[in-house]
Chains A and B, each alone.
Chain A
Amino acid sequence: MSESYEATVTDPVSAPMTCDSNPVEDWLRMDRMPHIWCPGCGIGTSVNCFTRAIEESSLDRKNIAIVSGIGCTGRVAGYLLLDSFHTTHGRALPFATGLKLASPKTKVVVYSGDGDLFAIGGNHFIHAARRNLDMTVLCVNNFNYGMTGGQVAPTTPEFAIASTTPYGSVERPFNLPYLAQSCGAVYVARWTVYHVKQLQRSIREALEKPGFTFIEMVAPCPTLFVRRNRLGDGLAALESYEENAVIKNGADTRECDLGMGGPIVCGKFVDIDRPSYLSNQVAHLRKVLGDRYVMPDAWQGVVE
Chain B
Amino acid sequence: MVETKKSVAPKAPKGHVVVNTERCKGCGFCAQFCPTGVLAMSKGFNLKGYHPPIVADAAKCSGCDLCGMYCPDFAIYGVKNGRKPGGGDL
Query: Which residues of chain A have a CB within 8 Å of any CB of chain B?
Result: 5-13, 15-25, 28, 33-35, 37-45, 47-49, 52, 55, 194, 196-197, 200, 222, 233-235, 238-239
Contact = CB atoms under 8 A, between A and B. Distances in A.
Given A40-B72, A52-B69, A12 B77 contact: no
A5 B29 contact: no
B15 A23 contact: no
Contacts of B61: 11
B85 A41 contact: no
A229 B83 CA distance: 44
Contacts of A44: 71-74
Given A16-B81, A33-B74, 18 more contacts: A5-B23, A6-B21, A6-B22, A8-B20, A12-B55, A12-B58, A18-B83, A19-B79, A22-B20, A23-B77, A24-B68, A39-B50, A40-B28, A40-B29, A41-B27, A44-B72, A45-B71, A197-B66
Contacts of A233: 27
Nearest to A38: B25
B47 to A, nearest CB: 10
17 contacts: A5-B20, A7-B18, A11-B17, A13-B16, A19-B79, A22-B68, A23-B85, A25-B74, A28-B74, A33-B23, A34-B23, A35-B73, A40-B28, A45-B29, A45-B72, A235-B28, A238-B33
Tell me if A's interface is mostly helix, strand, loop or mixed: loop
Contact of B69 (A12, A33, A40, A196): A196
B27 A40 contact: yes
Interface in B39-90: 50, 54-55, 58-59, 61, 66, 68-77, 79, 81, 83-86, 90
Nearest to A40: B27
A196 B65 CA distance: 11
B70 A196 contact: yes
Interface residues of B, number: 42
B20 A6 contact: yes
A28 B81 CA distance: 25
A18 B75 CA distance: 16
A18 B84 contact: yes
A198 to B, nearest CB: 11
Given A23-B85, A45-B29, A7 B70 contact: no
B34 interface: no
A10 B21 CA distance: 10
A186 to B, nearest CB: 27
